[in-house]
Chains A and B, each alone.
Chain A
């Protein structure tokens, strides 16, 4: 059944047992956004030591795609330099656009989200957390500025 292609086990696992889903009071970076199409909400918070993302957490509610993507993202970027996390964000967006190969070495668990590419309307769900991370790190998210869209 084609459902297996979108709802892979690893996605359901992150959805049912999200990682790093907690508040991060006093975080250096935080930003929240929602996807008006389906009401998904994601808030991403991060602390940096030097130029490395020491701690990245999320809070939110929404569909399995948006929430599992956020959970996998926190795992993928924690411990990486900010620049590398931002590179991964654009590479992930590229994978969702079908422009970047879903390379497991590069994306880890995130390759599971590749099945979403076939359902264009759900791509927004998958990239929401990454948009929020990028905005937190680059935009008005610094020093707890919060943006909502």
Chain B
């Protein structure tokens, strides 16, 4: 249950770049991942050999494009344990997928006096669409708070998720803290009161086996670009029941059955949610990324990241960094937020850049998390299949340089 990281690295052409004469040490895969040659070639081959609009052309080329697009749908749905490809609506990523549920389903199923339950560790993309829905409907937002250890505080779950709750929207893995959430318990709590459970799998899907079917969530949102696929790939996996009860948010070509002067009728699920020309080449590229991950094995991906995350956390703590989120690596993913001595994360990231080391500095689109832990920003190192212990060492060496520059 492991793979050869050196051989994996050879599949990623960008890793041969250097900056300031130093090899690229890319520790920002939680923001976006790099792409293996097979994915780059799959997207390029689509344009080179099969390019046409999907679902339109009668000619053979159009049939090829449609076939590639639809077989990508089956491949990607299958990666999440879903055998019915119609339950996968393609979107340009997690943000669009969550907005689709919030506006397409929420506007007709959520009303004044209802509640929407989120957590304080959500990415802004799993907060703002629900705020917009609450504002439009008169519903109220409720937040599951966080413990000092970076876990969800579930002591009050029973009083938060009530008969008035229509939606529980929760991340599977925090992008700012790394925390893996107890989805089973949360989804059961939502279903017990008749609410839908919406899962933000942007961080979890790339890094661990994620069986949406076994989980039983009503909707799962994910981004292809974080899981070795092209930008603007990704989707919304949902139950047939939810999709059948959801209104289209975008109107336009291909999402209709018939158009009259004053109204239109909708195409079948999932096409009614895919207005206009979609990101065909990108989803075809994502299918290739899924095959790449399946060949590595998601359990092996997780095992590799556990190993490197454990190593990184030990090294960071040894170096005197403050690490946010769970200290037990089994309960977290490979996104490690930290603050090093007195060095502001922005200054830290700048010094690391000179050493070829890429980390994220800022609030990570999770301002509620920053506020909860009383910091305006953190530095974040995040890991993926191509990262090595040597790269963690390069990070720690560069930290010391930053410490020297900014010693107060």
* A-to-B contact residues, CB < 8 Å: 1-3, 6-7, 12, 15-16, 34, 36-41, 61-65, 119, 122, 125
Contact = CB atoms under 8 A, between A and B. Distances in A.
Contacts of B405: 3, 7, 12
Nearest to A15: B406
Given A37-B362, A38-B362, A38-B376, A3 B351 contact: yes
A125 B354 CA distance: 19
Contacts of A6: 350
A2 B377 CA distance: 25
Contacts of A41: 376
B354 A38 contact: no
Top 10 A-B residue pairs of the complex, sorted by shortest distance between their CB atoms: A39-B376, A63-B346, A63-B344, A39-B377, A38-B346, A64-B347, A63-B347, A3-B354, A38-B362, A38-B377
Contacts of B406: 12, 15, 64
Given A37-B362, A62-B376, A2 B354 contact: yes
B398 to A, nearest CB: 11
Contacts of B345: 38, 63
Interface residues of B, number: 18
Interface in B177-209: none
A58 to B, nearest CB: 16
Pick from A6, A38, A40, A62 the residue with the most CB of B within 10 Å: A38
Given A7-B350, A12-B405, A38-B361, 17 more contacts: A2-B354, A7-B405, A12-B406, A34-B376, A36-B363, A37-B362, A38-B344, A38-B362, A38-B376, A38-B377, A39-B370, A39-B376, A40-B346, A40-B376, A62-B346, A122-B346, A125-B346
Consensus secondary structure, chain A interface: mixed
Interface of B: 20, 344-347, 350-351, 354, 361-363, 370, 375-377, 405-406, 408
Pick from A36, A39, A41 the residue with the most CB of B within 10 Å: A39
Contacts of B376: 34, 38-41, 61-62
Nearest to B346: A63
A131 to B, nearest CB: 17
A18 to B, nearest CB: 11
Pick from A34, A41, A61 the residue with the most CB of B within 10 Å: A61
A33 B196 CA distance: 39
A38 B343 CA distance: 13
A144 to B, nearest CB: 24
A30 to B, nearest CB: 20
Pick from A16, A34, A36, A64 the residue with the most CB of B within 10 Å: A64
A40 to B, nearest CB: 7
Contacts of A34: 376
A41 to B, nearest CB: 7
A64 B370 CA distance: 19
16 contacts: A3-B350, A7-B347, A7-B405, A15-B406, A34-B376, A37-B362, A38-B361, A38-B362, A38-B376, A39-B363, A39-B370, A41-B376, A62-B344, A63-B345, A63-B347, A65-B346
A122 B361 contact: no
Contacts of B377: 38-39
Contact of A122 (B350, B354, B362, B375): B350
Contacts of A36: 363
Contacts of A125: 346
Given A16-B408, A39-B376, A41-B376, A119 B350 contact: yes
Contact of B354 (A1, A37, A61, A63): A1
Pick from B344, B363, B406 the residue with the most CB of A within 10 Å: B344
A146 to B, nearest CB: 18
Contacts of A61: 376
A36 B370 CA distance: 12
B218 to A, nearest CB: 32
B336 to A, nearest CB: 19
B252 to A, nearest CB: 33
